[in-house]
Amino acid sequence: MALNLLSPAEIKAVSFLDSTKSNHHHQLNKLPGAFTLKRKDCGTRRIHCSAQPPPPAWPGRAVPETNHKSWNGPKPISIVGSTGSIGTQTLDIVAENPDKFRVVAIAAGSNVTLLSDQIKTFKPQLVAVRNESLVDELKEALSDVEEKPEIIPGEQGVIEVARHPDAVTVVTGIVGCAGLKPTVAAIEAGKDIALANKETLIAGGPFVLPLAHKHKVKILPADSEHSAIFQCIQGLPEGALRRIILTASGGAFRDWPVDKLKDVKVADALKHPNWNMGKKITVDSATLFNKGLEVIEAHYLYGAEYDNIEIVIHPQSIIHSMIETQDSSVLAQLGWPDMRLPILYTMSWPERIYCSEITWPRLDLCKLGSLTFKAPDNVKYPSMDLAYSAGRAGGTMTGVLSAANEKAVEMFINEKISYLDIFKVVELTCNKHREELVETPSLEEIIHYDLWARDYAANLQLSARRTPVLT
């Protein structure tokens, strides 16, 4: 497919949502009680970044090098964000497979109690605590430990954990742009990345991917959807990937009629039909912003064009994602929803590690019964148009989208804006950023516009109709 490349001047001349996917139609103004959009009529033009796009982490195929090293003893890893969900599940895997993995360094934020327990159990050589004021408390908690680890406080400590000389793979479980600098440090030190930090690619892709290629570093996806795609592309010949199909649960409102969305309360958005998660990710599942962000990640990870990345609602959440090959075959990865499996695969790739049936229940399709699918509704989920638009604009726009959404969700949870206002806050922020879009940003520019987007979104005022407006 030929690309219609627009110059930066042309990008600024059209409205942000004129870059939506060709078979998507902007529906924000059709939501009940929602907003009136004033957009220039630009026909069917789509915005594409005029700069050379960054190389994908995996060009639609995954083949280990012939000189790939197999580990005779435990593989040394470090964990950034050891007390969070990703970090604790990673340590569960290490505890179950002490002959396969060992922990050489861990970094945490402020949960000193859990961190001290992890140190006593896994005996890392180096520990970082981002909250510098808690270092003395951590040392006191470790007073009875004979072989004490080196402790480095603050952001520098987290960076040192990420680039620990003995580590081969770094699990990046820290949330937000705070995970960017440690990930960059790990890449520059030649460490493979078990990627659980979305901002690494969504915000940092234009900078991080060329850096990873320069240092010959592998970026291995630790979230379930992208791990599913990664597993499906194993051994594909060059050019075989045709389409990526991301599955989505549909969130709290998958069975709601659109006209009820104007009445959504915070408690409604937090009632996920499948499982219990944190507030932010549960709201993102309800809006489908989580899947829109995964579309951007899929583009950066596998090099698929946005026209060839689709979203499908799959309520059972058993198929974690699919690919279509050039000959129209569709390959899928199935399993019970369990984040430990994709985390394990990032740590063991290209090998497969045996898992006990006791702690890793095997999938029983007969017991499951049926799998169903339906197309997502663009009216119900305007986030899809916003995400595809940001992806096509490229550069710093994708990071701005993510940061604006995070701030908008925070404001919704705090009942400062309505549910439908989340989409408008994100669009207003992205529209404003068109004036300063950077196509090939530095790390400093990525972090700057992440902070800018949060500040801009937070300072949007509300009219009497509770619709965000500029003042």
Q: What is the DSSP string of 253-285?
A: GTTS-GGGGGG--HHHHT--SS----HHHHHHH
d(CA 459, CA 162): 35
d(CA 442, CA 304): 24
Note the pLDDT of residue 5: 30
Q: What is the DSSP string of 68-100?
A: PPPPSSPEEEEEESTTSHHHHHHHHHHHH-TTT
d(CA 429, CA 193): 31
Question: In residues, how long is the chain?
Answer: 471
Q: What is the mean pLDDT of each run of 10 residues along the chain (471 residues)?
A: 34 52 48 41 37 90 82 92 96 96 96 97 97 95 94 96 97 88 97 94 97 97 97 97 97 94 95 83 95 98 98 97 98 95 96 89 92 96 97 97 97 96 97 96 96 96 56 45
DSSP state of 189: T
For CA atoms 77, 193, 449, 82, the dihedral sign is negative
The Cβ of residue 48 has, within 10 Å, a number of other Cβ atoms equal to 20
Nearest to 325 by CA among 311, 304, 342, 306: 304
Cross-strand bridge partners of residue 221: 195
Nearest to 220 by CA among 393, 101, 343: 343
Whether the Cβ atoms of residue 468 and residue 425 lie closer than 8 Å to each other: yes
Note the pLDDT of residue 4: 33
- Could you tell me the strand order of the sheet in which 309-313 lies? 309-313, 241-248, 319-325, 330-334
DSSP state of 239: T
Note the pLDDT of residue 25: 41
d(CA 16, CA 385): 10
Cα-based distances in Å from 376 to 254, 286, 297, 385: 9, 12, 19, 12
CA 231 to chain centre: 17
Q: Two tokens at 257?
A: 């009629």
Q: Two tokens at 5?
A: 């490349």
